[in-house]
Amino acid sequence: MIRLKNMPINNRPTHWGWLAVLMHWSTALCVFGLFTLGLWMTGLDYYSPWYKQGPWIHKSIGVLLLLLTLLRLFMRLSLKAPLPLESHKSGERMAAKATHMLLYALILIIIMSGYLISTADGRSIEVFSWFSVPATITITGIQGEAQEELAGSLHWYSACILMGLVGLHILGALKHHIVDKDTTLLRMLRPYANKVIRKSQLK
């Protein structure tokens, strides 16, 4: 494991490293952006200038989010995450852990199903103008139903579930910040503070 002195790029038992924080908020931005863009672009008029541009950006960012998520998962599994705050009850810890695992799983399911829509006819996915992801994975449809239809339903319903879970995730963070007045949310916001302490905790 890489440990650089005075540069908290890595996670410490007391706080997240700035890399983890950066990746967390990039993911948040991508998830909200992709959901909004996806919802908006599928209702566009054929003559809208975004009719082709919207899906192109949606797919490109989706592939980039896949890479980011795989990297995050790898880091989460191979590097130690900060310890839960002592004030966290064991029920809260379990609920948080389950939510986090589901968030990761749903992001992967949504991106894979999106990939299966666009590659159902063997076409590859262009990621901006940088590179293309070939259509190498296929699934067999149920009783003649087309791959893009099955994958499309999965893509939409898992995206809705993800947004629900994101809501729960946000509510949990706000509950820690406002009700419990602990540093759960702050340590995902201030990576450089060696030790985040709230005024309320000093009293």
Partner 1 sequence: MKQIYRTAIVVLALVFAPLSFADNYKVDVKGAHAFIQFKIKHLGYSWLTGRFNTFDGQFSYDEKNPSASKVTIDIDTASIDSNHAERDKHLRGKDFLNVSKFPKATFVSTSFKNLDGGKAELKGELTLHGVTKMITIDVDHVGHGKDPWGGYRRGLAGTTTLKLKDFGIDYNLGPASTEVELSFGIEGIRQ
Chain residues that interact with partner 1, rule: CB under 8 A:
45-47, 55, 117-121, 123, 144-149, 152
Report the nearest approach of partner 1 to the CB of residue 120 (Å): 4
Report the nearest approach of partner 1 to the CB of residue 152 (Å): 6
Residue 120 in tokens? 């159902």
Contact partners, residue 85, CB within 8 Å, separation at least 6: 182, 183, 184
Residue 74 in tokens? 């790898």
Please tell me the chain's helix, strand, coil percentages from 3-state DSSP, rounded to the nearest 5.
60, 5, 35
Burial profile 14-44: b = 16 or more Cβ within 10 angstroms, e = fewer: ebbbbbbbebeeebeebbeebbebbeebeee
CA angle at residue 94 from 11 to 157, to 5 degrees? 95
The residue (of 60 and 183) whose beta carbon lies closer to partner 1 is 60
The residue (of 23 and 116) whose beta carbon lies closer to partner 1 is 116
The residue (of 91 and 144) whose beta carbon lies closer to partner 1 is 144
The residue (of 32 and 149) whose beta carbon lies closer to partner 1 is 149
Residue 33 in tokens? 């952006």
E-strand spans in 100-155?
125-127, 131-133
Report the nearest approach of partner 1 to the CB of residue 65 (Å): 19
Report the nearest approach of partner 1 to the CB of residue 41 (Å): 12
Report the nearest approach of partner 1 to the CB of residue 142 (Å): 12
